[in-house]
Structure 1
Amino acid sequence: MYKIRLRPLAAAIIVSGCSSATFAQLGTNLSVDVRSLSMGNAVTADPPGISAIHFNPAALTKIEGLQTDVQGILANFDIKREFEVPAGYNVFGYSDDPMVCNDGPEVSSDLCTDFKSTINGDVEYVSLYVPVLKKMVDLGEGLPMAAPTAGIAYNPPGSKTTFATAMYAPLVAGFGAENGNPANYMGQQVALERITYLSPSIAYEVNDELSVGASVGMSYQAIGLKTDLRFPNELIGMLRMIDEVVCTPFKENSDIITDILLLGICNAQEGMNPFGRFGQMQLALEQSLSPSYNLGVLWEPTDDFSFGMVYQSAAKMRLKGKYHIDNANAPRELINGLMSSPTGQILAAILGFPNNIPASESGLVSMDFEYPAHFQAGIKYKLLPDLQVNFDVGWTDYKAWDKFRFEFDRQISALKIAKLLSENVSDSSLALPLEFTSPWNFGIGLEYSATDRLKLRAGYEPRTSAIPDNKRNTMVPINNAQLFGLGVGYRFDADTDLDLSIGFLRSKDNIPANTSSLANQTGVNNLLLNPYAGLNVKTDTKITILGLNYRTRW
């Protein structure tokens, strides 16, 4: 289970921030290069062909003449999400949450008498954001995500300089589910993409042992989100109690006295419910040109040993896009009730509440977004004439994602209410505290030359999460993860190589009730994004990647 409550916009925006952050770890380097995938991405000292543009542009000097690379990568996402009810579960004394409770309308108790054992909210298909259409597209249940790439490099005869460019996807991830899926309260559809469509690069061979290189990446960045919203919060539980207990005697025979004393709340045609759906939010932000650069060094003192180092710069962007919110009837009726009473109007004016909440709200949204910088260094060493080991360590500056700030082109009714409960909210902006960290990771790869033509590869990359324990959530269905890779390379002739690889990424996470302020925290101050407040949450993510690379020299 997982949902929360206040106004649709505030929560949905937060969700989009989480999705980008989470997926950055989920998809990084999974769709760049086939050989690197099979080597646990430990290729800084032994970059693969034209993909050296990304992993270490200095290694482009190893290319001779004119070379082209064409790759195709397929990825299948298997993401399971489970919600469980712990002992003592309730929100302000209510536990009849239809998402976790089997009780029908014939049971009048506010406390559930028959909880569901486990609630599943599995991902059902892959989603992608299509720039031309400016919307998310579902690929259909069971269909994998495809990421084709291509590159070309040229080393003039007798020259120490190599030129190259490539089109590849440093990050592609997205998923979706049908209506009614319990996990839709933290993203029914989510998509995050960074596609480098042009990467002019140059590498120079200083001497027989040392090479340097640089590349400039021109990329497209997009974030897309569609999510249902709910807010199981103590304050909403109190409003339900007022509606069902205090207001019941006055529903049909209210007068000016009761309107004044009860602030008009009892005039609402529909009461608030902490387990009710509060609407739906759709959001899409993008930037067509997001430049960055890579700098690399490659040192090869002997045929058996080499050392490589690369710095991939941050890319600072101003993402812009549109949002659309459909507001449910209950919060609209609450404001209508307040506006029907003189004292309610006075209270709303003092608190800065809106005079009404429209059925839908649309407009423009923007945010400053930084694709984090990355540093990686590694070695290649031949243990035996036919057996090579690669080892890399890397660091990514996810600490740059300390906070995401969304700015809207107008005042939002949801934010005018939420600002009373958070210093991170104003009438037209919302800041989401993520508090990410910048971990170090390592990868290791083995390559065995079975024959002069055939090479066998294996790799392992444990990925330490940058997400703090108190910020874990189901929209980012990954925490610590492990990536395993296997591959085979075959040389048909002196100018033609074929690489085939398979990768498998696995991440399991357990988020006990009341441990994450972006998933299941209880209390009065969890209004922004805790749709599964008080519930135990588990995720199990499996990603299988299959890739084929065809490399030709002319």
Structure 2
Amino acid sequence: MNKRIISLAVLAAIAAPLSQVQAAGFQLAEYSSTGLGRAFAGEAAMADNASAQGRNPAMLTYLEGRQLSAGGIYVMPNVDVHGDVTLASPFLGSQTITMNADALDVAGDALVPNFYYSNQLNDQWTWGLALNSNYGLATEVPSTHATAIFGNETAVTTVEFNPNIAYKINDAFSVGAGVRIVYGDGKIGASTPAWVDGIKAIPTLPAQVAAALPPSGTSLKTMEGDDIAFGWQLGASWQIAPAHRLGFAYHSGVELELDGHASGLVYNGGQDVEIEGYMPLELPAFAELASHHQLTDNWAMHGSINWTQWSVFDELVAYFPGEQKPIGDIESDLVKEENFKDNWRFAIGTTYQVNNDWVVRGGVALDKTAVEDEYRTITIPDSDRIWFSAGAGYQATKKLTLDFAVTYIKAHGDAPINESMNLLGMAQVNFDGEASGDVWLVGAQLSYRM
């Protein structure tokens, strides 16, 4: 496989170019439309269809016969960054230049697909396959935008494949395990903003310095790469009583080594060469404790507490072991400090069986941010999020079920951003602003029992 390097805000993970607005950091929760309808509350203790293994492989033991489930969730984000860029330079004396740097709609729409299959071998053993998403990122501003020097493009396309197996110990306890096979491919870039042309026009700027400055829109750093890495997942369920169940699931971290090439003015000085390199990137482990309670024949409540080990996402460093080195013959490049922290998500949901054909769902969730205010960046404008979800399932035939869901996610509270950069010793560049936004998720899913 021809691999390439991802840097700057290269982040990683799953199933089509994805918009980084669904969960903390660049994590995705959109693994099924069934779960979307209840804000993914109680997922590790639920077994509606074959998608149950996406969160907890142990829930496979609750599925009879052979089942498949397939669908997609369409993500429609509206993420805006408002702020100003300020330039300070010895060539300006005590003066500074401040310009508007609003970036509107930085994340595009995307479809997140999924597919699941389960096969009950006997009363104890069930196996399954899952193809879903756990991480993803896509943000972009024009190459001449005022903030493009901090990063103008970040796109990750990845797929996660999980073979799973589950064993029913007795009527109360089940366990499950699976392998995480993660493929990731991405591209990241930073370019010269339009205001560089203004710097070149400063009367006190030496002519040779002005001539050395690249024109606006010039690629400063462009990096591309892909890799395959492996992890594992474990799950368990406890049927406390016929109407009450607990579930627990743990998904290990996955260490990607994004190996490939880098280019752009900062690395190759404008020459037509690509420099070999790699960047270690660890996708965090995550866990869920969930409960399901059947309060009446028609009505159930469920809840979840999720934890993600975002503290492993501390910094991004690119390494260049090949003969062709970047300018200055550097062996490595500290691309960006992120300083994420572990985060928590809390969700509560409900399911109501209207009649033999229809079931309705609802849920709310609070997804805490994975980054402190002082470390938030334009490329990852993370903040607390509140989820409001509703969904429905229709039993079309004895074997076929259709699920539909819609979710509205609103960023909660202020999300200030302050980034700075030294421009070749000629100017200090600072961005001061805040991120805001919301997102609509619309999902549909087909489940079939064979």
**In structure 2, what is the Cα distance between the partners aligned to 1:545 and 1:120?**
25
For 1:206, the equivalent position in structure 2 comes to 169
**In structure 2, what is the Cα distance between the partners aligned to 1:175 and 1:507?**
17
**In structure 2, what is the Cα distance between the partners aligned to 1:34 and 1:510?**
30
**TM superposition shift of 1:167:** 1.6
**In structure 2, what is the Cα distance between the partners aligned to 1:201 and 1:17?**
26
For 1:323, the equivalent position in structure 2 comes to 262
For 2:114, the equivalent position in structure 1 comes to 149
Preserved contact between residue 388 and residue 408 of structure 2 (Cα < 8 Å): yes
For 1:350, the equivalent position in structure 2 comes to none
- The structure having more radius of gyration, on CA atoms, is 1
Q: 1:172 to 1:16 in 2, by over 3 A?
A: closer
Letter in 2 for 1:147: V
> 1:200 is paired with a residue of what secondary structure?
strand
Q: 1:386 to 1:483 in 2, by over 3 A?
A: same
Preserved contact between residue 144 and residue 192 of structure 2 (Cα < 8 Å): no
Q: 1:298 to 1:358 in 2, by over 3 A?
A: same
For 1:34, the equivalent position in structure 2 comes to 33
**In structure 1, what is the Cα distance between the partners aligned to 2:376 and 2:142?**
23
**TM superposition shift of 1:64:** 0.9
- The one of 427, 432, 436 aligned to 1:540: 436
**TM superposition shift of 1:278:** 6.7
For 1:58, the equivalent position in structure 2 comes to 58
> 1:53 is paired with a residue of what secondary structure?
helix
Preserved contact between residue 409 and residue 440 of structure 2 (Cα < 8 Å): yes
**TM superposition shift of 1:394:** 1.5
**In structure 2, what is the Cα distance between the partners aligned to 1:305 and 1:449?**
17
**TM superposition shift of 1:208:** 1.2
**In structure 2, what is the Cα distance between the partners aligned to 1:95 and 1:527?**
14
Q: 1:511 to 1:185 in 2, by over 3 A?
A: farther
**In structure 2, what is the Cα distance between the partners aligned to 1:223 and 1:368?**
14
Preserved contact between residue 94 and residue 110 of structure 1 (Cα < 8 Å): no
Preserved contact between residue 87 and residue 428 of structure 2 (Cα < 8 Å): no
**TM superposition shift of 1:26:** 5.1
For 1:270, the equivalent position in structure 2 comes to 211
- The one of 217, 222, 230 aligned to 1:282: 222
Q: 1:246 to 1:111 in 2, by over 3 A?
A: closer
> 1:14 is paired with a residue of what secondary structure?
coil
**In structure 1, what is the Cα distance between the partners aligned to 2:311 and 2:53?**
25
For 2:180, the equivalent position in structure 1 comes to 217
For 2:368, the equivalent position in structure 1 comes to 464
Greater displacement, 223-232 / 480-489? 223-232
Preserved contact between residue 381 and residue 435 of structure 2 (Cα < 8 Å): yes
Preserved contact between residue 12 and residue 136 of structure 2 (Cα < 8 Å): no
> 1:44 is paired with a residue of what secondary structure?
helix
Instruction: Map residues 22-421 of structure 1 onto 2, 5 A cutoff.
Output: 25=24, 28-42=27-41, 43-84=43-84, 91-92=88-89, 119-123=101-105, 126=108, 144-156=109-121, 158-196=122-160, 198-229=161-192, 244-245=203-204, 267-268=208-209, 270=211, 279-287=219-227, 289-326=228-265, 357-359=269-271, 361-408=273-320, 409=322, 410-413=324-327
**In structure 1, what is the Cα distance between the partners aligned to 2:12 and 2:446?**
36
**TM superposition shift of 1:400:** 0.9
Q: How many residues align?
A: 434
**TM superposition shift of 1:92:** 3.8
**TM superposition shift of 1:436:** 1.4
> 1:283 is paired with a residue of what secondary structure?
strand
**TM superposition shift of 1:435:** 1.8
1:16 equivalent to 2:10? Answer yes
**TM superposition shift of 1:162:** 0.7
Instruction: Map residues 386-535 of structure 1 onto 2, 5 A cutoff.
Output: 386-408=298-320, 409=322, 410-413=324-327, 426-430=330-334, 432-507=336-411, 510=414, 516=418, 519=419, 521=420, 526=422, 533-535=429-431
**In structure 1, what is the Cα distance between the partners aligned to 2:185 and 2:423?**
27
Letter in 2 for 1:550: L
**TM superposition shift of 1:490:** 1.6
**In structure 2, what is the Cα distance between the partners aligned to 1:53 and 1:22?**
24
> 2:104 is paired with a residue of what secondary structure?
coil
> 2:137 is paired with a residue of what secondary structure?
strand
**TM superposition shift of 1:501:** 0.7
**TM superposition shift of 1:231:** 12
Preserved contact between residue 15 and residue 186 of structure 1 (Cα < 8 Å): no
> 1:451 is paired with a residue of what secondary structure?
coil
Q: 1:111 to 1:405 in 2, by over 3 A?
A: closer
**In structure 1, what is the Cα distance between the partners aligned to 2:316 and 2:190?**
18
**TM superposition shift of 1:314:** 0.9
1:549 equivalent to 2:420? Answer no
**In structure 1, what is the Cα distance between the partners aligned to 2:279 and 2:442?**
34
**TM superposition shift of 1:93:** 7.1
Preserved contact between residue 12 and residue 135 of structure 2 (Cα < 8 Å): no
For 1:136, the equivalent position in structure 2 comes to none
Q: TM-score, normalised by structure 1?
A: 0.69
- Percent sequence identity over aligned pairs: 18
**TM superposition shift of 1:220:** 0.8
**TM superposition shift of 1:148:** 2.3
**In structure 2, what is the Cα distance between the partners aligned to 1:79 and 1:532?**
27
**TM superposition shift of 1:325:** 0.2
Preserved contact between residue 54 and residue 294 of structure 1 (Cα < 8 Å): no
Letter in 2 for 1:463: D
> 2:235 is paired with a residue of what secondary structure?
strand
Letter in 2 for 1:203: A
Preserved contact between residue 240 and residue 272 of structure 1 (Cα < 8 Å): yes
> Which structure's residues are more often strand, by fraction?
2
CA RMSD of aligned residues (A): 3.7
Instruction: Map residues 1-12 of structure 1 onto 2, 5 A cutoff.
Output: none
